[in-house]
């Protein structure tokens, strides 16, 4: 990330996502801690593990405002660390949709928009 808060592609990130910001620093620690467990998992397994991590993080922090700052930064940095290729599954799209990077969220929205909608069961 550049000093102006933009990543190499020119995307503007949340202004709190700075290298010296406590939320960004905690996100870096979380990425380092959980990378070994996430790297060899497929997207459904990653989504399940990230859900568990987030539940525990919210409980540990006891501060919803700080948690709300950390979470999208952690997801963005996790995607960047794992390699952000094209979205190939619903689970991957769900993860991207929760990223602090607007490009990740855009890609998730585009992927969801191309997916067939499940028909609702008819009501009797």
Q: Is 2 a member of any domain?
A: no
The percent of the chain in helix, strand and coil, each rounded to the nearest 5, is 60, 0, 35
Q: Is 46 a member of any domain?
A: yes
**pLDDT (tens digit, 9 = 90+) per residue, 69-87?**
999 999 999 999 998 789 9
Q: Is 8 a member of any domain?
A: no
Domain that holds residue 29: 22-112
**pLDDT (tens digit, 9 = 90+) per residue, 12-34?**
444 445 557 999 999 999 999 99
d(CA 41, CA 49): 9
Q: Is 122 a member of any domain?
A: no
Name which residue leads in pLDDT, 37 or 120: 37
What are the Cα distances from residue 22, in Å, to 3, 35, 47, 81, 89? 16, 20, 25, 19, 32
What is the count of structural domains for the chain?
1
Q: Is 71 a member of any domain?
A: yes
């Amino acid at each position: 990330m550049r000093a102006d808060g933009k990543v190499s592609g020119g995307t503007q990130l949340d202004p709190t996502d700075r290298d010296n910001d406590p939320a960004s620093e905690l996100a870096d620690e979380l990425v380092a801690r959980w990378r070994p467990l996430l790297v060899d998992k497929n997207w459904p397994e990653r989504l399940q593990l990230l859900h568990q991590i987030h539940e525990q993080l919210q409980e540990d922090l006891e501060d919803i405002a700080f948690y709300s700052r950390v979470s999208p930064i952690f997801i963005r940095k996790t995607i960047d660390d794992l390699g952000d290729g094209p979205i190939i599954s619903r689970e991957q799209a769900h993860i991207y949709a929760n990223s602090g990077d607007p490009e990740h969220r855009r890609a998730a929205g585009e992927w969801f928009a191309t997916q067939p909608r499940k028909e609702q069961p008819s009501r009797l």
